Amino acid sequence: MSNSPDVLFLVLDSLRKDRVSTYEHDRETTPALSTLATYATTYENAFTPAPWTLPSHASMFTGSFPSEHGVTNGFSDGMGQLSASQSTLAEELSDEGYRTAGFSNNPWVGRLSGLDRGFDEFVEWDLEISTETDERLHTSREELYSRCHSILGKGARQPVFALKRRFFTDSLVDRTKRWIERGVDSSEPTFTFVNLMEAHSPYFPPREALEELGLEAPGPLEPRILNTKLLAYVMGKADLDADTRRRVMEYYDASARYQDRKVEEVFGLLQREGWFEDTLVIVCADHGKTLGDYPRDEHPPHYLRDINLNVPLWIKRPGQREGETVEEPFELTSLFDVVRDGDAPSDRYTRETAIAEDFVPHAGRSTPDEVVRWRIAADREYKYVRNDAGSEFLYDRSSDRLLSSDADRCDEYADRLSERVRRFGVDSDEDEAGSPTNREIDSDVEAQLKDLGYM
């Protein structure tokens, strides 16, 4: 690396760009991120490499697209892990002398997928300490919980599930702050990765977050009932009526507001310790969240709408003191290189066209007989979508409208997409770097994935 700044890489899982006040949402859902934007670069057309957590994180951690790294789907009878031959960002930084720590709120991001590799410290979604080099980082209670997490998790599952999410979020943020504090006097640079999931269903925002946004506080039963309806929708078993969807979006906004408060705690600590200015800070979503915006059975899949693919992104370079906005497309796969460079100019990794991939279905109890792959190519005006069967579609991004016919423009975008894919060195599901291994998903993880709507 040309230089070695401290790095904070914060992924706000499922945070929709249109619900972020920095991007002109009419509710003040993210005041801390709005403050960050006054120091950082805001990207208007940042695209995730995949519209869901597992392949998106694998791409950000490797700098490669799903077809390249091979982590495209997750199934309970055989989960594809990242190939051991593919190095991760944390591994490369560790080799460069970084102290590394990861705190993940999502079951897909950690030991299950192999994305915990390279971290000196790693805390899993259920607060299990899966990697530990500094025993002083965790309290004795946290160590005990880690050893007994499976038993305690099953005991806490009912009936106090509503308390479970915030308990985990608070704990992960507390440990993140403790990690930062412990690194203040260290001569080694640090890489801190955090995944928070308040914007991912189910939603149990605290009462005060709703009140801060001027929204009606819930009764004792409403959150449970509302999330049961939402899960039925996510699993394709029921539709969301207009009133239910309106209330779901209020819960979503309040959850984002609560999460923003936790983000502010981390930023505040960096500023008090005098680290903020010289730290490379990256904040993004791994994908968006479709919550009744489009028919679940539409073709192409609703996963490929901009609401899932065009994500919020802020990058504050070391020493950056003034905010700026970049309109050109940016691919989250490039965050790997942004971190490796340490202090890259804000427009170094922008592109004329951003691409993404989606392998459907995403996850389930058993591996399907057929997986359909979709690819997209998008610039500031249009988005081209095609699958391996040869079906192709073109969207006007400004109106989010599917265009009926524009053969010449489709040909132009098809050529752009094909040229990029040729550079992958692989044009199938086969991973050139080697076949990923399979890992069985245990019952605790599978239960959590069901609650999150993956299965």
Model confidence, pTM: 0.92
Q: Angle at Cα 17 formed by Cα 11 and Cα 19, nearest 5°?
A: 105
Angle, helices 161-182 vs 222-234, to 10°: value is 90
Q: What is the DSSP code string of 351-412?
A: -SSEEEEEEES-EESS--S--EEEEEEE-SSEEEEEETTS-EEEEETTTTEE-S--HHHHHH
The DSSP letter of residue 426 is: -
User: What is the pLDDT tens value at each position of the chain, 455 positions in all?
Assistant: 557 999 999 999 999 999 999 998 999 999 999 999 999 999 999 999 999 999 999 999 999 999 999 999 998 766 578 999 999 999 999 999 999 999 999 999 999 999 999 999 999 988 999 999 988 899 998 998 888 866 655 544 444 444 457 889 999 999 999 999 988 778 899 999 999 999 999 999 999 999 999 999 999 999 999 999 999 998 889 999 999 999 999 999 999 999 999 999 999 999 999 999 999 999 999 999 999 999 888 999 999 999 999 999 999 999 999 999 999 999 999 999 999 999 999 999 999 999 999 999 999 888 899 999 999 999 999 999 999 999 999 999 999 999 987 899 999 999 999 999 998 865 444 433 334 444 555 656 666 666 666 65
Q: How high is the pLDDT of residue 430?
A: 41
Query: Distance between CA atoms of 287 and 12, rounded to whole angstroms?
Result: 9
Q: Classify residue 187 by burial, with Cβ atoms within 10 Å: 0-12, 13-18, 19+.
A: exposed
Strand partners, 439: 79
Q: How high is the pLDDT of residue 234?
A: 86
Q: How high is the pLDDT of residue 80?
A: 72
Q: How high is the pLDDT of residue 445?
A: 63
The sign of the dihedral angle between the CA atoms of 245, 246, 251, 256 is positive
The sign of the dihedral angle between the CA atoms of 382, 295, 454, 74 is negative
- Long-range own/partner contacts, residues 385-390 (CB < 8 A, 24 or more apart): 385/300, 385/304, 386/414, 386/417, 387/300
Domains of the chain: 7-216+250-451 (3.40.720.10)
Residue 125: name the closest of 61, 16, 17, 200 by CA.
200
Query: Distance between CA atoms of 139 and 239, rounded to whole angstroms?
Result: 44
SS3 label, residue 273 = coil
For β-strands 382-387 and 372-378, DSSP reports them as antiparallel
Neighbours of 318 (CB within 10 A): 15
List C-alpha distances in Å: 325 to 322, 339, 377, 445.
Answer: 10, 19, 22, 39
Both structure tokens of 276? 């903020």
Both structure tokens of 343? 């202090």
Neighbours of 344 (CB within 10 A): 17
Question: Rounded to the nearest 5°, which phi and psi values hold at 359?
Answer: -110, 115
Residue pair 52/287 in contact by the 8 Å Cβ criterion: yes
Q: How high is the pLDDT of residue 187?
A: 86
List C-alpha distances in Å: 187 to 4, 6, 323, 339.
Answer: 11, 11, 29, 19
List C-alpha distances in Å: 167 to 15, 33, 44, 149.
Answer: 20, 22, 33, 13
Both structure tokens of 169? 């979020």
Q: Could you report how far apart the first and last alpha carbons of the chain are, in Å? A: 41
Residue type for position 307 = I
Both structure tokens of 390? 């040869």
Query: Distance between CA atoms of 452 and 24, rounded to whole angstroms?
Result: 28
